[in-house]
Structure 1
Amino acid sequence: MHVGNQSAVTEFILLGLSTNPLVQVLLFPIFLAIYMSTLIGNLLLIVAVKTDKRLHISMYFFLANLSFLDICYTSVIVPNMLVNFFATKKKISFTGCTTQVFFYLLMGETECLLLALMAYDRYVAICNPLRYSMVMNTTVCLWMISMAWLTGCIISSIDLYFVFRLTFCGPNIINHFFCEAPLLLQLSCSDTSSNNIVKLVGTAILAFIPLSLILFSYFRIITTIVKTHSGKYKTFSTCVSHLVVVVIFYGTAMFMYVRPEHADTEDTDKRVAVFYTVITPMLNPLIYSLRNKDVKRAMRRLVRDK
């Protein structure tokens, strides 16, 4: 992959969440606790799904994959963020920035597709219950999740290529706590019009198309439930956790990427980024375990056995 013009920029400076040393010392234990909670909560959910035979259906297979994604997603950003709380110079190498951008895009884009697959799974389970086990069998689920990862990898590789083929001829300060692709474009002295086109196409493929599938699935689900005379609320309760996660994920993503750009929103952008890169991965296992009796029972049994 051609990376710019091999200019003098060999590293980037991340300003982080705050330049106040006292604030940084106070933030470190908070974010360390959140990160450890994220790892423990999502690992417990994965192990619970793996060990409890009652959870060996497609719904929980996708849920375990979501937990794995959340672990990877937050691990791309938070460890480096924790180190930088105590670093005099919050720097990241050009290669490190490249790696962070690629995996951040990969996890985010794959999660868009995974949330759509989870909505489709609920659609089949509620609207075609007699065909559910046949349609969503193990082979189909493995194929779906593999295609989600492959698509995310391809799109993120294309995004990465168009970002790092640019020339970086001097400015290297990023007002953020990780390498965010749109902010890197602002540092380039090259024409970024092709990047804007790629961003538009990528957003359409990995945001609006999956979101359209999610909305269509829930339209059909609600239509089916309305026609059902009994068990309406119990049926829909299996979808509530997923809907909450979708609203949180797409709500923050749209705030960041589907809006006019303003120069005075940098601090707000960082706060929103904290929510979807740090807080949301911690909340997801809590949302699913609190709203799902089967998951709650499996995790409780797992903790008790340990």
Structure 2
Amino acid sequence: MRAALLLLIAGATLAAGTGTAGAQTATTTQAVYRLSKDSDYQQGCFAPCMCPVMISSGVTGTFILTPAGFDGLFTTYAVTEVNWIVSLNGTDTFVTGSGTYKVGGEFALQQELALDLQVGDGAVQHFDSGLTGATAPFPDIDLTISVNKQTCFDTVFRVSASPVPPDQIRPYRLVAGSTFQRGCFGACACAAGPKLPIAGTFALVPLVSTPLWNNYAVINVRWRAFDSSTAGLSSSSIPVRGFGEYVYGGEFALEQRMNLMLSVDKSAPTHFDSGLAPGGGSFPRIDVRVSIVGAGCFDTIIDIHAEPRRMPIRRSTRTNGDS
């Protein structure tokens, strides 16, 4: 009974204090979670095999937690929009996917995180923590997930995360001058398509930063490109959805990078990147161009011009993930 009561209290606290990226309010049951600096990624050999862990990296990013039901002992949550970055061989690599998280128990608080994740261009793999004791008070989450139960060769994530306070979710909107263009570019012998106006919203969530670089997760990308001759008609619009990261800073000159995973219309998520480019000096305004990574002649280019949206702010004492 006590465990069930704790779950009800935790669920009510989560629903009242968190919500969607745009404005976490008591009217929504979703929560944006952010990984802390204790999260990490490892790939290599674990006991009892006698070989070293070959790859180790910190992990940054966000995911969405949504209540999905209660079975009398456990509250289950859907985990969606996994938006993590790991550094592999010096390259920032996306980790994407979804799954479930459950917490509860009859006598002691237990938890389990099960995710289907894709690291970069690799195959989707199933990661699971198994049912384990809760080491952090919910709504905080702290556990380890792996493919092979950390036996011999394995890939392992430590997931240490907590809900993002509403005042740290910074809503943005695309402004005039933002465009969407598909077609042939460069020396290719085919025409580029028209530049279509694109509108919509997204949000930034501050991540662990360094003295030189300011790091943000980009969440809840909800854009729509319109045919210039019939702008405003949903039947002639192209939806763009996704997430990613934005960084700016530098040692000698300000530079910026917008790195996104976007689904255009009904296509599978595709990697769009600006690369490291001049800019960032006008932050919080963002002006940057992204295009498909590795595209040949045919490409999609999105010119992003964005400014913060004014939203009601509720202050919080939580940090930006440094603790």
Is the pair's TM-score, using the shorter chain for normalization, greater than 0.5? no
If the length of structure 1 is used for normalisation, what is the TM-score? Answer: 0.20
If the length of structure 2 is used for normalisation, what is the TM-score? Answer: 0.19
